[in-house]
Structures are given as structure tokens and as C-alpha cells.
Amino acid sequence: MGAEGTRAELDGKVALVTGGAGGIGGAVALDLAAHGADVAILDVQLGGVATEVLAGIERHGSRALALAVDVADRGRAGEVVAEVREQLGGLHILVTSAGINRDSMIWKMTVEDWRAVLEVDLSGTFYYCQAVAPIFRGQGFGKIVTISSINGLRGKVGQVNYSAAKAGVIGLTKALAKELARSNVNVNAVSPGFIQTPMTAAMPRQAREAAIAEIPLGRPGRPEDVAALVTFLCSERARHITGEVIKVDGGQYI
């Protein structure tokens, strides 16, 4: 497919990306725009990174919208979806990339750290999937891509909260794929391994080195590696794929 055809692949579509000012979320927003979608990004804080993402979306010739929202605030989900539809003229794609981690061994983990990760990573995903589901059903079309993690598939020491939340995202994705299939809505999960993002950059050096040592390809992934798969799943090339959990991890899970 030539450059012009690639650009037109998502022409006329409107996407909402939670965590859209983050490493993976920002890359997803830019890649969707590169393929023709207008894109709204949500993030708890909109700073310089969000400004760069918005400018990048517009450089691709797409319309951009940014909203400062905490996805754990259930009451805002419906309002945000309504605002995106009003400002951009519709909604066809949801990517739930917002996520946090609060790592510690279980005997040190506070209830607050447990709840914070579950609320953002799992409940935030639920709130926005719930908000778009009636719209996608009504229009007989939609694409939902949730961002899980290989640690939601295998677990990881020091991440009982994060692993539980990301495992929950996988269960949510599979159940929602069944519920929305008859409405021509595809629902899939992407499970990254170790990806170079601000979140992983904040990890202790030894932990980063240990994670990279697990990867057969011998290198960490980039946000663009995840974004490429997300865009594919949002395209009509993936119209017969739903309920899947696809790893982007350089073989780390093997």
C-alpha cells in the first residue's frame, strides 16, 4: 500500500486515546493520525508532551483535541465521550492506554497503592469502554483496543497490583468482544513487554537491565512498535480479529 493509501486507511474516523500524552499513548495517537484519523487524547495532566502530540497530529493533517481528565473519575467518562463526539463529529475508535504503577512487594504494599493502580489501569478501562459501548452498538461499528501487559499474563515480582489490573483488562477485553461482536465492534488487547517509556525509565537500573536480559531480540521495544499493531487492529484489515491478546515484547514472554 502506498503512502497515500496508508494515510487514507482511517480517513473519516475519530479516535479517543486515554493516556494519550504518555509514551505508548502518544505514539498511538500519532500513528492513528498518520493513517487518517482525527484524534482526541486524554491525560491526567497536559503539559509539553501533550502539546507535542497535538502538534504532531495536526502535522499529519488530522484534527486534534486534548482533555485533562483522570480516567479513574467515572463521572467524567460519559461527559468526555460526548465532548469528543461534539468537537470532532463522531467516535469510532477507543484505545485505553492510561496506566500507572506503584510497585512493591505485597507485604509492603499499601491499600492506597493497590487501589490506585486498580482504579486507573482496570476501572479506567472499564469506564471508557462502558461509555462508548452504546454508541458503537448504535452505529453498528467500532474498534476498541485495550493496553494490557505481558505481566498481566505471567505476573511479576513486586507488581501484584499491576499484574492483577492488567490481567483484569484481558478478561474485560475477551468478555466485551463477545458482547459487542454482533454489533460489528472489534475488541482486542495489546500486551507490551519492556518498552522504552518515561514509566520504564523511572525503574531502578538493575530492574531495567534484568527486563532487557529477558528479551530474546536483545533490545527493548519502542512505543512505535506498539502503535503499529494498535493501528492495524483499528483498521479494516483486522475486521475478522476480535477477543485476541497480542504480545509486543521481542519474545520476552517466551
Question: Which residues participate in catalysis according to the annotation?
Answer: 162
Q: Which helix (H) or strand (E) holds 132?
A: helix 124-139
Q: Are strands 14-18 and 93-96 parallel, antiparallel or unpaired?
A: parallel
CA distance 219 to 214: 9
Q: Which residue has the cell 519474545?
A: 251
Q: How many residues does the chain have?
A: 254
What do you get for the CA distance between the two ends of the chain, in Å?
32
> Which of 92, 78, 100, 241 shows the shortest CA–CA distance to 173?
241
C-beta of residue 64 within 8 angstroms of C-beta of residue 38: yes
C-beta of residue 234 within 8 angstroms of C-beta of residue 143: yes
Position 9, amino acid: E
